[in-house]
Chain A
Amino acid sequence: MLVSYRWLGEYVDLTGVTAEQLADRITKSGIEVERVEALERGMKGVVIGHVLECEPHPNADKLRKCLVDLGEGEPVQIICGAPNVAKGQKVAVAKVGARLPGNFKIKRAKLRGEESNGMICSLQELGVETKVVPKEYAEGIFVFPSDAPVGADALEWLGLHDEVLELALTPNRADCLSMLGVAYEVAAILGRDVKLPETAVNENEESVHDYISVRVEAPEDNPLYAGRIVKNVQIGPSPLWMQARLMAAGIRPHNNVVDITNYILLEYGQPLHAFDYDRLGSKEIVVRRAKAGEMIVTLDDVERKLTEDHLVITNGREPVALAGVMGGANSEVQDDTKTVFIEAAYFTSPVIRQAVKDHGLRSEASTRFEKGIDPARTKEALERAAALMAEYAGGEVVSGIVEANTWKEEPVVVTVALERINGVLGTAMTKEEVAGILSNLQFSFTEDNGTFTIHVPSRRRDITIEEDIIEEVARLYGYDHLPATLPVAEAKPGELTPYQAKRRRVRRYFEGAGLFQAITYSLTSPDKATRFALETTEPVRLALPMSEERSVLRQSLVPHLLEAASYNRARQVENVALYEIGSVYLSKGENVQPAEKERLAGVITGLWHAHLWQGEKKAADFYVAKGVLDGLFALLGLSDRISYRPAKRADLHLGRTAEIVLDGKEIGFVGQLHPAVQKEYDLKETYVFELAFAELLNTEGETIRYESIPRFPSVVRDIALVVDDNVEAGALKQAIAEAGNPLLKDVALFDVYKGDRLPAGKKSLAFSLRYYDPERTLTDEEVTAVHERVLAAVEEQFGAVLRG
């Protein structure tokens, strides 16, 4: 809402309060003033001039040589390029020495050899936005009414010695979508009175009922419809002061009748519509829901197809307006309009919102209906409009109002105790202070023993309950005066849940292990949604996605991590190690919330470790990724319950992928990207993993239990076993451990050899075996006995023989 400071001053005495100060006060008490704009923009020296002569420039086709009377001294010669300049006009002239916006100084000049002593200005040159400049002057200079006094300050006549406050209104303060609403607010802040506009109408002898009747068939959409007839109007420009106010408020002037409806809209927040009575085509107004497929051509010359969701004003046969949104072209006020039917109605919000949504049409009127107007002011606004049309359009107001009225004002009465106000706010206000604030708000109230009974005026539809009153009191009392205390409550320690605490440990582990935490988008494209996922369902799809790229919810974190790796590689960051903990979304059927499961995923590509000058360089490989995960499982106390099995998964390397199994259940995977996918993402050798993180964290791991530190020496024996190539090291190791139980405490693989020194199809796996008895020192014989048993077992199970 744009509020002219000078216009506002007509309703509230602003003496002693500058626009800037006012803005600050308004902001502090509840409505944010986004900016204060001085319309002068540093201008000076612009006067109204009279074009005495206007003839073609001798040396330029597009210029005119004008002789202009500036009301002082001799008339001066000014060269003007505007196409509409003409003899006899009153125009705005920036004199020599004047300043225009942007600190543009006017100097005496020669244009194509002709002297020019100033500049005849367009409104744009005076800082007015093109979109509000009256259409006839949009391409040229502005022409004042012929009675404008020559030599007078043009800026004053154009209302430019003014400041405009731009209010950012929250949805609850629709009451301030009008000058009067703002006036009440400002009056409450300043503790001053509101002066209401004059609405007395002089009526003629005729009766409005002879002209028109009104019937509302959809009263729930339109509880109140009122109208008046004004005859013998003369369409022409509205008074300059009115045009100036409209422009300052961001509305383009059209003609006196339309301008008056817009002026009332700004003044009262009540949208009006003026029909050309003679073009209505009937003597009745019927308000009803549109029929499906019914058509209307609106004022913007667009033909619109209507549905039963839309409300229309009809002449009994066909729509003449899309109610509350835009009038119809068929009944538009035109230059030859003689009789005007003014509509002042209260349309309810839902039906207007639907029309705005369906037709993409938002207007000053529809915005107000959507946010809710004050029906108690509807007829007052109509009276004021009729009075102004009589005054400024030469009209004759026909006696009486036509109306269809089912609206019943339901008085809102709120009671609130002083104790409650102070209890909620933590203040120590007195009865008198609260009473003072309520009076300033111009709320009528009674007070009994500290309890206030308040009759809320209909303009403040946002106030219905005790808390609303408390808020009004608080904001006008001033939040700066609110003390700062802390809640008085039993002291209970705050803490993370075990899950949250574990998750943090896991984060720190991954970061300590050298991975950076990524956060990627949850929304993705359908082709990425289920890719790599541990578990898939039909993707959860947005009803109205903004793009296909962000249209469904992900079921794996891997695709976006790959995008991140690719993004980095494209920017010369080739070594990437990222992890992410985040949710995936698995559908549980339509119209129910999907299952959200927390996953842990990672991507590793490029060099894992580089310390080049000492010759160290380790590229990421499967075992790097696996090692990171092994550490995680150790951290969670799950190492002994985890196993890796070779696996084939889509988009992964078929020989370098493992599924990860916890207690016999698959909980994730780790593997190399399939070369084709690497190429797709423009990545080199890349490893990814994803784990069912929530399941993992919710599995109780081994807890810490101290074991005594060995007191006796252990015996270490190394063996190299030759086995077939396809024997898995993991299985062999497990067989050794089982055969050596309980004296064999540790089995560690330390070498893998394949090559010339072994027969084809064979490999050698070397293990270090540590035997130990916590009770005593083992003898060589005892160790040998167990060791032999181990060798026998692996020979039997795997055909493993000791390497010679």
Chain B
Amino acid sequence: MKERLHELEREALEKIEQAGDLKALNDVRVAYLGKKGPITEVLRGMGALPSEERPKIGALANEVREAIQKALEAKQTKLEEEEVERKLAAEAIDVTLPGRPVKLGNPHPLTRVIEEIEDLFIGMGYTVAEGPEVETDYYNFEALNLPKGHPARDMQDSFYITEEILLRTHTSPMQARTMEKHRGRGPVKIICPGKVYRRDTDDATHSHQFTQIEGLVVDRNIRMSDLKGTLREFARKLFGEGRDIRFRPSFFPFTEPSVEVDVSCFRCEGHGCSVCKGTGWIEILGAGMVHPNVLEMAGFDSKTYTGFAFGMGPERIAMLKYGIDDIRHFYQNDLRFLQQFLRV
């Protein structure tokens, strides 16, 4: 009987091994472990054995049954896995086909530049001041030390609506408006972004409408060296660490002294290239110490208060930063242009 059991085990394990699918495996299970199976048969015939043999054979029969059971389970798991794999393989797709697009728009490049600059100065304690685009002659010119008939008015031919009302030619009117609101008491620390307008014929480098960002700080003991430090900080954050700035003397009616501010070329690190026209420097800003007349007209005592102001053109900065060659692109809203400014 012992041999018979061992033989059955061998036989069953072999058939399990050979079973190619779950059905065949089940047939093996039924055939060997079923109620009418050969092992049950063997156990039934145990009555004929001597009583001391019976427990041994019984134990052996159980061992055989368990071994078969275990082999069945193992085979079943294997077959099931194979079946899943086959099924999945049949479901295979081409992962290189395009994904379902997520619809994304993006900000206008000028907005990107303006927001970046806003954030940079907000980080230095500035607030953002906005004001009217249609200004009075007073705020656009007179309050900025440009009385009627001043030769510098030639420098910015303007779109007048009436003799006293015009489209602002710069964002500087916000300097005067903000200072007036402070009623002669500092500190004032603002930047003013916005649209401005000049009587220019639109071409690759001119636009009758463009944007400007103006900054103003007024307090006791503001020094020109503070202007230099502030703008150096700005240049490094906007164009990268390691940038330097230089001041060149210039003239603006609303500042005295006035300077133009160059940033060392971010493309060539100051060695000279096409971006900086070989000079190593790029003109980025106009700046200066607020003219005492401007302070006084806005209600500040120019003996106790000093201030600095600076202005820049987001178009120019965007053109330099992204290598844009024609200012008209900013206002044509060609999607092939706009779409290029998605990346963070």
Contacts and interface: CB of A to CB of B under 8 A. Distances in A.
A467 interface: yes
A545 B164 CA distance: 16
Interface in B152-176: 152, 154-155, 159-162, 164-165, 167
B306 interface: yes
B97 interface: yes
B106 A482 contact: no
Contacts of A27: 248
B209 A521 contact: yes
A36 B54 CA distance: 122
B317 interface: no
Interface string A491-518: 1111111001000100100111111111
Given A495-B122, A542-B159, A350 B249 contact: no
Nearest to B261: A479
Interface stretch (A443-451, A577-585, A676-684, A754-762): A577-585
A372 B224 CA distance: 30
B336 interface: yes
Contacts of B161: 540-543
Contact of A32 (B130, B165, B248, B335): B248
A553 B126 CA distance: 31
A483 interface: yes
Nearest to B260: A32
A494 B187 CA distance: 12
Contacts of B101: 609-611
Contacts, number: 248
Interface stretch (A13-21, A124-132, A430-438, A469-477): A469-477
Contacts of B98: 611, 613
Interface residues on B, range: 35 or more
A639 to B, nearest CB: 21
Given A423-B221, A518-B333, A520-B333, A496 B128 contact: yes
Interface string B119-159: 00111111110101111100000000000011110110001
A491 B228 contact: no
B208 interface: yes
Given A487-B217, A515-B105, A519-B330, A596 B338 contact: no
A543 B187 contact: no
Nearest to A511: B105
B251 A484 contact: no
B125 A172 contact: no
Interface in A57-100: none
Interface stretch (A280-288, A401-409, A563-571): A563-571
Contact of A475 (B128, B195, B257, B292): B257
User: Main SS of chain A's interface residues?
Assistant: mixed
Q: Which of B107, B111, B161, B189 has the largest count of A CB atoms less than 10 A from its CB?
A: B161
B46 to A, nearest CB: 58
A370 interface: yes
Interface string A742-754: 0000000000000
A516 B331 contact: no
A573 B336 contact: yes
A366 to B, nearest CB: 13
B104 A512 contact: yes
A523 interface: yes
B64 interface: no
A543 B292 contact: no
Interface of B: 97-98, 100-101, 103-108, 110-111, 115, 118, 121-128, 130, 132-136, 149-152, 154-155, 159-162, 164-165, 167, 187, 189, 195, 197, 199, 201, 208-209, 217, 219, 221-226, 228-230, 232-233, 246-251, 256-259, 289, 291-292, 306, 330-336, 338-339
CB-CB nearest 9 A-B residue pairs: A426-B225, A514-B103, A426-B223, A170-B251, A471-B257, A30-B249, A479-B247, A564-B333, A494-B122
27 contacts: A29-B249, A424-B224, A465-B292, A479-B228, A479-B248, A482-B228, A485-B228, A486-B226, A487-B217, A488-B221, A490-B187, A494-B121, A497-B127, A500-B128, A507-B111, A517-B338, A519-B110, A521-B209, A522-B167, A540-B134, A544-B159, A550-B208, A564-B333, A591-B164, A593-B134, A594-B134, A596-B132
Given A425-B224, A483-B229, A510-B105, 18 more contacts: A27-B248, A171-B151, A349-B149, A424-B306, A426-B226, A479-B259, A484-B225, A485-B226, A496-B122, A507-B111, A513-B105, A540-B161, A564-B333, A568-B335, A571-B336, A585-B133, A593-B132, A614-B100
